[in-house]
């Protein structure tokens, strides 16, 4: 009850300061939600001939000010041999986008998921100052390659 009494005796200047601080905090929270953690641009043909070499290109960027360690790889609903199974691990920073390439051949139509995981791994980013997102750490784009 005593603390309520102190609150009622607060000066108008103190109440105005609290209101301004609250509005400033809400504004800062709104600004961070518009920042995109991972932006993926996948280039892959939609059709190919059997045993034709297919090229997949992934460009990954981020709007975060901090760097993060990412792992990029491909997944499919059927087994695909060769370079399709390469996994790349690197440091991604706001001012340094990364591009990855995979070349593979297949005889049948395949659904491909291009996946980027944000991982905790040491000695990848300079000074080990990489961040890990709290909510989402896996991002993917699905594409279908039709074999004619």
Question: Can you count the helices (H) and strands (E) in the chain?
Answer: 2, 8
The answer to whether 101 and 130 are in contact (CB under 8 A) is no
pLDDT tens digits along 39-59:
999 999 999 999 899 999 999
Residues 6+ apart with CB under 8 A from 115: 72, 73, 74, 75, 138, 139, 140
Instruction: Provide the residue ranges of all domains of the chain, joining segments of one domain with +.
Output: 39-147
DSSP annotation of 64: -
Mean pLDDT, range 16-44, rounded to an integer:
66
CATH number for region 39-147: 2.60.40.10
pTM: 0.74
């Amino acid at each position: 009850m005593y603390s309520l009494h102190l609150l009622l005796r607060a000066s108008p200047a103190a109440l105005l300061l609290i209101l301004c601080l609250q509005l400033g905090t809400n504004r800062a929270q709104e600004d961070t939600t518009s920042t995109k953690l991972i932006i993926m641009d996948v280039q892959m043909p939609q059709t190919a001939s059997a045993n034709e070499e297919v090229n997949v290109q992934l460009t990954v960027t981020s709007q975060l000010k901090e760097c993060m360690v990412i792992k990029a790889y491909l997944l499919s609903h059927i087994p695909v041999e060769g370079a399709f199974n390469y996994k790349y691990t690197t440091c991604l920073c706001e001012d340094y986008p990364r591009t990855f390439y995979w070349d593979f051949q297949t005889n049948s139509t395949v659904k491909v998921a291009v996946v980027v995981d944000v991982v905790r791994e040491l000695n990848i980013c300079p000074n080990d100052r990489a961040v890990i997102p709290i909510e989402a750490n896996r991002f993917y784009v699905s594409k279908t390659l039709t074999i004619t």
